[in-house]
Each structure stands twice: as structure tokens, then as C-alpha cells.
Structure 1
Amino acid sequence: MRATIPSLALWLGLAGLLPFLVSVSVAWLAPIAWQMFAIEAFLYYSAVILSFLGGIQWGVAMSLETVGSTGFRIRLLLSMVPSLIAWPALLLHPLTGAWVLAIGFVLVRFHELSLHGRAELPDWYQSLRLHLTLIVLASHALLIWRLWGG
């Protein structure tokens, strides 16, 4: 049985997709000067959101895990990984950075699906994150295609 995603969480999640969708659209459709700006904006926003996903895990560890438990340690340690992927990705060539960020989103999703990753999270969170991650990854694929000369 699937839990219903709270409407506020759904609307905020969808709103969080707008910068991805707008910037990747501009990267394809606008004059070249705007395309370069949009590519940079996309990558920076992607890094922010990837880091935000790590912050969610840190918050869960602090508020719902028992201090010192395996879940607490794993969640705290892994909560830092998205930021440690996102920041260096911004220092790379945009094509490489887009790949690194996309891989970061996949890794976060794998963690969210793991036994420790999904523990302590509400049922609706998995459904929301699945849909948001698919759109984020599709946006990354479009940007990568554009950067490859699409």
C-alpha cells in the first residue's frame, strides 16, 4: 500500500524541479551566451540539491536514530557523501561535472532504497524521491546530450 504524499511536500518537490527544467531548456533553446549561463546555473543548482539530500540524512540521524547505533553512524557518515561529490563536480569540465552529479543522485537513491537508508523515513518519501530523482536524472541526460553537441 502506497502512502499518499502530503500535498505540501509534493508541491515543494515539484517546485524544486523548476530550476532544472528551466535551465536545461535554456541550454537547448536560447542564444549561445544564455546557454552557457544556463549550463552553469544547472550545475550549481544540481550541486545544491545533491548536498540538500545529504542534509536530509543528517537530520534524520539527529532526530530519529539512536545516538551510537549502527543506523546513526551509517546515516551520519553517508550524509556527507553528497556534498563531497557535489562540490568537486563544480570544479570539473561541465560535461564531466554533469556526469559526476548525475552519478551522485543515483548513489543517493541507492542509499535511500537500502535497509538503513529507508529506515526511519515515512512511506511517502520513497514515492516522492523516486519521481523527483527520475526527472532530475532525465534533466541531467538532456544537459549531457547538449554538452556532447546535441
Structure 2
Amino acid sequence: MALDDRDDPDRTAPLPAAAAWLGYGGLLPFAAGAAGAWLASGFAQAAIGAALLCYGGAILSFLGGIHWGWGAQAGADRVAARLGWSVLPSLWAAAAMTAGLLTGPRVGYGALVAGLLLWRLLEAAVCPPGPVAPWYPRLRRHLTFGASACLVLAALASQSA
């Protein structure tokens, strides 16, 4: 069974307007950061890079928060597992942001992309199932790849390694 089949059994589930606006709207700072990385130089590019690292880290942490919320609702036998998994994105995000700020944005962008993609795979394949709406996996997949593409574009534009 392909990841898509296991991850999104109901590909026709309608996406609520609020989820679409808020979810896809959340890609705008990623797109603006990627554009800024290409259009700016010097201090402005560095400031945009730091802001993009912080936003990417916040989003990765938010993804763990979703699972923390599910863990708070889980049966007693699943609470520890759900809460344990839920802190991984925040830890990864902190390391990615720190690496990016200390060594250059490319390293941080790459670490954020890896974190987003790894968490998506882990969420789909390993994490215990949660009370998820049928449209959620599809939206998450779109947002993960959109954010990752913007971070890759920003990394290609970055002056420092």
C-alpha cells in the first residue's frame, strides 16, 4: 500500500474553508521568505533568513503541538506514546534554528526541510492514529511540500553555506 493510500484513504473529503484559508495562508510567509532571499542582499537577506528560520521552526513545533493535543485526549494506554512523539518536532526545530543562526541559513533551512519531511513520514507511518479529520492528511501533505519547497528555494539563494 502506498503512503498516500494509507495516509489519505478518503481523497475526496471536502476541505473546510477555514482550514484552506489558514493552512494555505500559512505558506505565504514561507513564500515571502524565499522571495526575499532571492531579492535581498546583505543585512536584509540575513534578517529575512533569520525570520524564515524562526517561522519554519515555529511551524515545525506547531506540528508537534497537534499531537500533544491529541495525546491529551488519548486513552490512558496511548497518552505517553503520543506525548513522547509530540515533543520531537520542537526539539528538532530548536536545533535547526540554532544551527542556521550559528552556521548560516542553508544549514538551518536544510534541517527544517528534513524535519518537516521526516515528521510527515513519521506521522503517517508510525505515530498512533489520532482523532483526525479525513481531509487533514491531504492538507498536511500539501503544506509540508509547499513549505519545504520554499525553504529549498531560500537555501539556493542564500549567500552563506
Normalised by the length of structure 1, the TM-score is 0.89
**What SS does the aligned partner of 1:23 have?**
helix
Aligned positions of 1:22-33 closer than 5 A? 22-33=32-43
The answer to whether the 8 Å contact 2:70/2:130 transfers is: no
Normalised by the length of structure 2, the TM-score is 0.83
The equivalent position to 2:75 in structure 1, one of 60, 66, 69, is: 66
Task: Give the number of the structure whose residues are more often helix, by fraction.
Answer: 1
The answer to whether the 8 Å contact 1:51/1:82 transfers is: yes
Alpha-carbon separation, structure 1, partners of 2:130 and 2:106: 35
| Structure 1 gap ranges (5+) | none
Runs of 4+, deviation exceeding 3 Å: 115-119
**What SS does the aligned partner of 1:91 have?**
helix
Bigger shift: 72-81 or 26-35?
26-35
The number of aligned residues is 146
The answer to whether the 8 Å contact 1:54/1:83 transfers is: yes
The equivalent position to 1:19 in structure 2, one of 17, 29, 33, is: 29
The answer to whether the 8 Å contact 1:111/1:117 transfers is: no
Alpha-carbon separation, structure 2, partners of 1:21 and 1:148: 18
Paired-residue identity, %: 37
Matched residue, 1:43: 53
Matched residue, 1:113: 124
Instruction: Output one character per residue of 1:50-96: Cα deviation in whole Å (capped at 9) or x when no partner.
Output: 00000000001112x102x2x43222111000010111222212221
Alpha-carbon separation, structure 2, partners of 1:115 and 1:37: 37
Are 2:34 and 1:7 aligned? no
Matched residue, 1:137: 148
**What SS does the aligned partner of 1:90 have?**
helix
The answer to whether the 8 Å contact 2:64/2:88 transfers is: yes
The answer to whether the 8 Å contact 1:112/1:126 transfers is: no
Are 2:83 and 1:76 aligned? yes
Alpha-carbon separation, structure 2, partners of 1:116 and 1:81: 12
CA displacement at 1:15 relative to structure 2:
1.3
Aligned positions of 1:69-108 closer than 5 A? 69=77, 71-92=78-99, 93=103, 94-108=105-119
Matched residue, 2:3: none
